[in-house]
Amino acid sequence: MVMNMNNIKTYSELIKLKTFEERFEYLKLDGLVGEETFGFDRYLNQMFYESSEWKRVRNFVITRDNGCDLASFDHEIYDDRILVHHMNPISKEDIINKTDFLLNPEYLITTIKSTHDALHYGDDSILKDNMFIERKPNDTCPWKIRKEEIQNG
């Protein structure tokens, strides 16, 4: 995969965007998922994601982004598995040649799986399930909810 330098996405540009939705629009790939990048060489990216270099930069990016989805402070990640996303899709050539796209935090962002999938599919409807949960009185205190149910019959 040859990267067009005009389409390179960077963290420096991303953080200028104020909302999560703007950041999503900036990063989405418009359905390029499924484009074969590794094929039978999938072991290469698996080895890369197990490397100490990746783990070190991954921890740096998560800390830099304050553990927030797309580094959006109103989208803190609590119970989902945190992912670090390559803003520019990588290829086996990137891994073999150890290009700057692999480990440079300028090309990486913190996210969660559903946001990551939505970015790859270019489908923001995947995000709808992740948006805000409607809160109800005592919904974080299960024993109070049960007590109210009993009292209200």
> pLDDT of 75-122, one tens digit each?
999 877 899 999 998 888 889 899 999 999 999 999 999 999 899 888
Every domain of the chain and the residues it spans: 7-152
Q: What is the pLDDT of residues 16-57, one digit of tens each?
A: 999 999 999 999 987 655 445 555 566 777 889 899 999 999
Q: What is the DSSP letter of 125?
A: G
Strands (E), the chain: 82-86, 108-112
